[in-house]
Amino acid sequence: MIKDITLGQYIPGESFVHKLDPRTKILISLIFIINLFIVNSFKGYIFIILFTALCIAISKVPFKFIYKGLKPIFVLIIITALLNVFMTSGGKPIYEGRFITIYEEGLKLAAFMVLRLVLLIMGTSLLTLTTSPIELTDGIEKLLNPLRKIGVPAHELAMMMTIALRFIPTLIDETDKIMKAQMARGADFESGNIIQRAKSLIPLLVPLFISSFRRADELSMAMEARCYKGGEGRTRMKQLKFSYRDSIAFIIIVLLVALSIWSRF
């Protein structure tokens, strides 16, 4: 399950999506997330599903990576669906039992929430899978630059967010190694009740925290050795520039939003 987490991973490529400006991809991801909550009918979700499938096909990212990103939240998806099915009333009764009644509105809302969660994970995963950590840092910093006038440390925020994303795969690998080492010594992480499982995680969390602090210390020393002083006076080898690809991408996302608003009426 730990190995299935794809957040923070980057797959190099030369596709249309890979070559988009990182600012474009970040803005489109935000618009995509907002658009998921604009839609209130299955007709609207058809357009979003087609858009997501088109992005995955153009990016040439293997679907197994998208699927791996969904696996860790399967339990959350099932719980969300069941809560909406059994706790939402309205519409025509589909099933009437002794203790529970399932309504048409509950099934509809459950389907909506499942679609939202799945599309949300797929859309945001595509951002990190097709954007390198350096590009992501530059894109976030450029978008936050206007907030510097009110004292927001744009560069520092962008750097912290990117470092956090960058080290998620590293920490996942470290957790997997520690878990296998502890299991080889007789540790059991799967049997017992919730309290027993929580206690069994202590031999895993302690070395993981120690390893994380050591890695953070090594990173800070490496940055100081390279005379890192923040964003002031810092230059970049690759300057971000919008191209015709970004214009096409913005036109497509605007059309998607227009179709989503149209589907509401």
The residues spanned by each domain of the chain are 2-183+241-264
How far is residue 252's CA from residue 257's CA, in Å, rounded to a whole number? 9
Q: Which of 53, 48, 46, 49 lies closest to 17, judged by CA?
A: 53
pLDDT confidence of residue 231: 63
Instruction: Choose the most confident range, by mean pLDDT, from 67-71, 236-240, 244-248.
Output: 244-248
Q: Which of 108, 61, 114 lies closest to 85, judged by CA?
A: 108
pLDDT confidence of residue 232: 66
Tell me: pLDDT of 106 over 60.
Answer: yes
Query: Lowest-pLDDT range, 3-7, 68-72, 245-249?
Result: 3-7
Query: Lowest-pLDDT range, 163-167, 177-181, 243-247?
Result: 163-167
> How confident is residue 240, by pLDDT bands cut at 50, 70 and 90?
confident
Tell me: pLDDT of 4 over 60.
Answer: no
Average pLDDT, the chain: 81
> How confident is residue 70, by pLDDT bands cut at 50, 70 and 90?
confident
Question: Could you read off the pLDDT of 109-134 as tens digits, one per residue?
Answer: 888 888 888 888 888 888 888 888 77
pLDDT confidence of residue 265: 76
**% pLDDT > 70, the chain:** 90
pLDDT confidence of residue 7: 60
Q: Is 236 helix (H, G, I), strand (E, B) or coil?
A: coil
pLDDT confidence of residue 32: 92
Instruction: Choose the most confident range, by mean pLDDT, from 52-56, 83-87, 260-264.
Output: 52-56
**% pLDDT > 90, the chain:** 7
Q: What is the mean pLDDT of residues 195-216?
A: 79
DSSP alpha helix (H) spans, 88-236? 104-129, 133-144, 154-184, 194-200, 202-225
